[in-house]
Amino acid sequence: MKHFRTALAAAVLAAACLLTGCQKTVKLTAQDGLYCNASAGISYAIAPMCYEPQAVGDLYASFTSGSIEVPLYEIEGLDPTQYLTEAYSGASSIFVSPDVVLPSDLTGFAPTTIHLCVQSLSVWEFATVTDQAEIDAIVRAFTEGESVPYPATTPKNDLRFKFESPHFPGLYYNLVYVDYGSARYLYDRETRRCVEVGDLLREYIDGALPSAGTETTGQSV
């Protein structure tokens, strides 16, 4: 798994360059739901919230939101005219060309790896799942299971499952995993789909966390 901490430090430095004018960027303008630069012939839409960058690269573009200049960065390994990202904060937006078609669900993403993570201001991966049968089982549980309301109470553990696919390099499909002891759920912040997944992948989680069985301080949904 790529390390966001290094990427975030680079992003902060690039943002400072943006503010001081030491690095030329492509200026985007909001227009009809897109962020465009007509002279460069590029435009971007905001991708669903479930998508995240694996690693943040160099400063590439910016747009103005109110009085704030928002810097956008390359995603390492991807064409910046097709993909950009905000500085990674755990709840950042990815910007994609209208020509890019991202899967609307986890089945279409076809993951082959799951990174199990604790997440707050930084990301700590504590286990990696590569067994395709186990991955397929969690995908089926989430996509085919009954959707229920997201629990309103504080979970014992609040984690992130970051799915990786060879068909969409450079990106993660991120779902929230919350453990209440008697029930465990996967939740998509974009669609608000919440599904109880039982004991799937518990062998990777039990005993792996320093505070397993106690409250964590992962980012709330």
User: For the chain, what are the domain ranges?
Assistant: 4-96, 106-205
Closest CA to 160 of 192, 191, 205, 193: 205
pLDDT computed for residue 153 by the predictor: 85
pLDDT computed for residue 88 by the predictor: 85
Distance, in Å, from the CA atom of 53 to the CA atom of 57, rounded to the nearest integer, reads 10
- A 10 A CB-CB count for 54 gives 23
pLDDT computed for residue 221 by the predictor: 35
Closest CA to 7 of 172, 156, 198, 188: 172
CA distances (Å), 193 to each of 2, 106, 112, in order? 27, 12, 22
User: Which of the residues in the chain have pLDDT under 50?
Assistant: 3-21, 212-221
Distance, in Å, from the CA atom of 47 to the CA atom of 173, rounded to the nearest integer, reads 11
Output DSSP code: residue 203: H
pLDDT computed for residue 121 by the predictor: 64
For the 106-205 domain, the top CATH level (class) is: mainly beta
Amino acid at 186: L
pLDDT computed for residue 1 by the predictor: 60
Distance, in Å, from the CA atom of 176 to the CA atom of 219, rounded to the nearest integer, reads 9
CA distances (Å), 164 to each of 1, 132, 174, 211, 219, in order? 9, 12, 9, 26, 21
Where does residue 117 fall: left (phi above 0), alpha (psi -120 to 50 degrees), or beta otherwise? beta
pLDDT computed for residue 127 by the predictor: 95
pLDDT computed for residue 92 by the predictor: 82
| 163, 114 contact by CB (below 8 A) | yes
Q: Which two tokens stand for residue 33?
A: 């739901």
